[in-house]
Amino acid sequence: MCGIAGILGDYKEPQLDAMLASQQHRGPDATGKYFDVGYAALGHNRLAIIDLSPKSNQPFKDNSGRYLIVFNGEIYNYIEIKASLQSQYDFTTESDTEVLLAAFIIYGTSCLAKFNGMFAFAIWDNQEKKLFAARDRFGVKPFYYSLFNNTFYFSSEIKALHATGIPKEPNEKVWASYFAYGSYGMPDETFWSGIAQLPGGHFLSFSPQQCQSELSIPRSCREVEDLIIKKWYCFEEEVAKQPKNLTFSQAKEHYVGLLKDSVKLRFRADVSVGFNISGGLDSSVLLALVNLQENNNLNNNCHPEPSLPRACRGEGKQSAINAYTFYTNSPDYDELPWVEQMIAKTRNSLTKVLLQADEVPDLAQRMAWQQDEPFGGIPTLAYSKIFEQARKDKVLVLLDGQGMDEQWAGYDYYIQDNEATIQGIQDFPYKTTMLSDSFLTKAEKPIYPKPFDNEVLNKQYRDLFYTKIPRALRFNDRISMAFSTELREPFLDYRLVELAFSLPLDYKIRNRQTKFMLREIASDYLAADLVFAPKRALQTPQREWLAADLKSWVSSCFKELENSSCSTWFDEASLEKELQRYFEGNIQSSFHIWQCIGLCEMFKKNN
């Protein structure tokens, strides 16, 4: 897990230095640079996870010296790919970086389909003077870019692009759509003008010598011939290839086999591995499988997976795998009782991280800088404290349960006839009356593709590629990397998602019970009260804290908005009215309050 950066065209070394400095938290173990004079400058911040030796530092050059790679992420099946390439490539390291580069050299763009992992990488061909870059299927790892003053820039975080001197101007259409519809932009958009992101499951190619004039960010590869962007992962086609007519028991067996393998692959690391746990079903399943994986390693004569440095333990002793959870001392929201109930049975070491209301203002400002774009409120701040503690504990890789709700139709709105994208909300969360008429006209209601003939499938597809998963992955990438730790999501293994998505709807929802098959799988490992516990939509007392404990801070944020450069976005009287209504007890939803706080903190920190 690292930070990548590059400049193609008219580069200046201080610009690359500034990019790397702004992303140093992503990779504190080594910083490297490469220059192809007159054409390209590549940079890398390394967080060493696999093959910790300096030989695997980046930018990494192949044996011939023709290709250079900067890579962020992990190729979980690198051992298997490396074995298949041994006769065609002379490996000099034990890293997945070298495996990725070798696979590209041998297979070309078709290498992407062979990777089971999370990745964003760029490969420079210093013979052809051409860049190839790609992003993983679901966009777990980020890739931002800009074409500015005849020069192409790319990086892992938006702040690195702004560090080069690219103007920091808000994309008012995206901001307006966020306030009016809760949209975080389409897969190629960001909240900042002139900066785009490569969508998940896409690759690009670019040759700097072809760039003859200043170019704007393209909406498709047809608009700018010099920058070619193509989709390499077609989810709909892969779903159609899944086994047909599986019985419930056959589907369950197949899925469990893939699930165990996914967890096994994600324990490959040369550093300590832990996991995040809540009191929910998904997290509980992860806990059971993590400990099953450890037991399997112990039963195999205490010789774990390659690159898995974990001590053996005797029967009845505490598990060596650390679990982390957060709590707020709020009985109505904390999941700690369920977590402790599970941990009491598995005997994992549990680290409990407390978030208190008075920590929120400082954390919100820090996260505004880390995120570069709006993020998900106080739960995100609580989650960040887990990674901070894990880093202190020298646990550098954490697993979590992201992705189950989207593949198994776990949200309440999957069984409702509406277009909701927020779980457990009755009151309409977006308050367009706060916005000025001129700003509101810039908003565009997002229209999402519906490639399937079933509305539930289309909602799942929307959440996987346009709403829930993209924003959660972005939030979580920035949180984990803020503390130089790596986050892995075993439930987002593409094999699991494709299979679950392809199964009949009554395998997912039965008698209005969501995630039906997953609950059946969980019942083989967990107690019934955990298997059938309802999904809790809210994890922190955000609504109450913003209305009471943090009232003074909230008021000051709103006042600052009225005096800020974006004050024209709002109708001042309506903005004050919405805030007053909230303070007077209309707190069914706090999303609009957090939107304003986040905007204030982001502009305060960065302007």
Q: Which residues contact 363 (CB under 8 A, 6 or more apart)?
A: 381, 384, 385
Preceding peptide of 28 cis, ω within 30° = no
- Per CATH, the number for 2-233 is 3.60.20.10
Q: What is the pLDDT of residue 415?
A: 83
Tokens of 263: 């967890």
Residues of the chain with CATH 3.60.20.10: 2-233
Which of 466, 503, 447 minimizes the C-alpha distance to 138?
466
Ordered mean pLDDT values, 10 residues apiece, the chain (607 residues): 93 97 97 96 97 96 96 98 97 97 98 98 96 98 95 97 96 97 96 98 88 40 66 97 95 96 95 90 86 66 40 42 93 89 84 97 96 95 96 96 91 78 66 96 96 94 96 96 97 97 94 90 78 66 96 96 93 96 92 96 71
Based on the residue annotation, tell me whether 221 is a catalytic residue of this protein: no
Specify burial of residue 576 (Cβ count, 10 A radius: 0-12, 13-18, 19+): middle
Selecting among 2, 111, 596, 600, the annotated active-site residue is: 2
Q: What is the pLDDT of residue 553?
A: 97
Q: Is 96 annotated as a binding residue?
A: yes
Q: What is the pLDDT of residues 382-433, one digit of tens each?
A: 999 999 999 999 999 999 999 999 999 988 888 887 666 665 555 678 999 9
Helix (H) or strand (E) holding 145: strand 144-148
Q: What is the pLDDT of residue 593?
A: 96
Q: What is the pLDDT of residue 311?
A: 30
DSSP state of 277: -
Residues in the chain: 607
Q: What is the pLDDT of residues 462-483, one digit of tens each?
A: 999 999 999 999 999 999 999 9
Q: What is the pLDDT of residue 137?
A: 98
Question: Domain 237-423+445-540: what homologous superfamily?
Answer: HUPs (3.40.50.620)
Residues of the chain with CATH 3.40.50.620: 237-423+445-540
- 0.85 cut: is pTM over it? yes
Q: What is the pLDDT of residue 424?
A: 53
Q: What is the pLDDT of residue 533?
A: 61
